[in-house]
Homo-oligomer: A and B are copies of this chain.
Amino acid sequence: MAVYTDINEGDLGAFLADYDVGELQSYRGIAEGVENSNFLVHTTAGQFILTLYEKRVNRDDLPFFLGLMQHLATRGISCPLPVERRDGAILGELCGRPAAMVTFLEGIWLRRPQPVHCAEVGRGLAEMHLAGEGFALTRGNSLTLADWRPLWTKAKDHADAIDPDLVGETETLLDRLEAEWPRTLPQGVIHADLFPDNVFFLGDALSGFIDFYFACNDAFAYDVAVCLNAWCFERDHAFNLTKARAMLKAYNAVRPLAPAEAEALPILSAGAALRFMLTRLYDWVMTPEGSLVVKKDPLEYLAKMRFHMGVKSAREYGL
């Protein structure tokens, strides 16, 4: 929730001169996104989101992220469409940072999603998985099993102070994940971060997906597991079976999960919970006091890890 880089009107004018978007009418920093600086830019041609990619984003990954949005948008998935510059490029530079403009997507993200919205997300996720087929670029998941133990090693010394059970439970789960992680599930392009703030709705209908900056090639069912974690728990960390059932049913109606995918959901979900616990823990520990970033509580995901470790069968998710 921050704007890391302010832009002056001279630099912005020079940047926009490379685009065919008319005259600048206004630009405002948006208090969204913890990785990059985002501005809502209004020109005589319409509204756009301008993103300046800050250090945490690897510049080499940007063609994958932006190309994927183009690929999906041309296949009927509602997502921001990168605007081409006059020279055909979709990536420019502003204030010494890589920068891109995408079309503005109407819709609001839901602070309190209901089962009907979880069904929309399930359907939309399956459609996105199918639409990703044929995308020419590939990108490995940089936050998958192999990355979790190194991340844990860096942060574990601080874990005890947060919760006395965190160290033991994390190491038990890590051991189990390393032994049992499924490696032969159907793969493709996944979003990998489809939290409520990355999904827009108009009324009860899904109006689009945003923020593809964790997208990668990985198991489709892992993306489903991320969504189970992100959408199907209540504020008190209780699992909401109605939401999960709605999501999985809607996903299955578009892209039926194979038996091996369904069977893997508990371990994939436990892994996804660990992944978000780890990055939150790491940010909790490493973010200096006084930073503009709002830190998210890692313990929310310890509760989810515990839940998934106790799940015996995908039927417990409502499948």
Closest CB-CB distance, A137 to chain B, in whole Å?
29
Of the residues B10, B40, B202, contact of A28 by C-beta under 8 Å: B40
Closest CB-CB distance, A118 to chain B, in whole Å?
15
A61 in the interface (beta carbon within 8 A): no
CA distance A28 to B39 in the complex (A): 11
Contact-residue size bin, chain A (C-beta under 8 Å from the other chain): 35 or more
A26 in the interface (beta carbon within 8 A): yes
Could you tell me if B30 and A30 are in contact, using CB atoms closer than 8 angstroms? yes
Supposing A1-B3, A3-B31 touch, asked if A110 and B26 sit within 8 A by C-beta, the answer is no
Residues of B within 8 A of A6 (CB): 111
Could you tell me if A106 and B26 are in contact, using CB atoms closer than 8 angstroms? yes
Could you tell me if B10 and A112 are in contact, using CB atoms closer than 8 angstroms? yes
CA distance A30 to B26 in the complex (A): 13
Residues of B within 8 A of A280 (CB): none
Supposing A31-B3, A31-B31 touch, asked if A26 and B292 sit within 8 A by C-beta, the answer is no
Q: Give 1 or 0 for each of A29-70: 1 = CB within 8 Å of chain B CB.
A: 111100000001010000000000000000000000000000
Could you tell me if B289 and A292 are in contact, using CB atoms closer than 8 angstroms? no
Closest CB-CB distance, A200 to chain B, in whole Å?
7
Q: Give 1 or 0 for each of A262-298: 1 = CB within 8 Å of chain B CB.
A: 0000000000000000000000000001111010000
Closest CB-CB distance, A300 to chain B, in whole Å?
16
Closest CB-CB distance, A11 to chain B, in whole Å?
9
Q: Give 1 or 0 for each of A8-23: 1 = CB within 8 Å of chain B CB.
A: 1110000000000001
Q: Which 9 A-B pairs have the closest CB atoms?
A: A8-B111, A29-B31, A31-B31, A3-B31, A25-B106, A289-B290, A26-B106, A28-B30, A289-B289
